[in-house]
Amino acid sequence: MLEFNFHPFPVIETDRLLLRRITNDDVNEVFELRSNPETMKYIPRPLAKSTQDALDHIEMIEEKINVNAGINWAITLKGNPKLLGIIGFYRMQPENYRAEIGYMLLPDFHGKGIVPESVETLIKYGFESMKLHSIEAIIAPENYASEKVLQKCGFVKEAHFKESEFWEGKFLDKVVYSLLNR
């Protein structure tokens, strides 16, 4: 069975981006992401109502890192510490050498190739450093932007579950994409 170790925290660089640890200093940007109905549209979780909700979210991210149960990074542009988004692996399945990738980005930065660049980098990290065999992404079927990113990064649609999740009085479909380490 795989064992994950996120100590020391792996800071990751790409041509344009620096993926770094999320801290309480990011509270305003995390609140901006998690309280925005547009960024949360396809994420069946409650909207952040206060900076305390954002701090609680940061603490939850930190706890998962501390026990090696999941890891999230702040997406930043090199030379600018401002958090633009969050990307990470969670719902880890060490027994199956599999993890789920998830990401969100502030609307001002959509359409600039930041998410595909981040996803490509985490695919490399997941397969090379974490020794994953497969990475999955679960999205809403109408989340076409995310679907496009996943397809661009080589993910393949594996399943479409009908009304498999109950959220705020409605049954939601979900689509599973995955990528195998070849």
Rounded mean pLDDT, 79-99: 97
- Whether the CB-CB separation of 30 and 60 falls below 8 Å is answered with no
Q: Give the per-residue pLDDT at 157.
A: 98
CA-based nearest residue to 139, from 177, 110, 166: 177
Mean pLDDT of 48-73: 98
Cβ proximity of 87 and 122 under 8 Å: yes
Q: Which CATH architecture has domain 12-136?
A: 3-Layer(aba) Sandwich (3.40)
CA angle 130, 13, 138 (to 5 degrees): 50
* Per-residue pLDDT tens digits for 132-169: 999 999 999 999 999 999 999 999 999 999 999 999 99
Instruction: Map out the domains of the chain as residue ranges.
Output: 12-136
pTM to 2 decimal places: 0.96
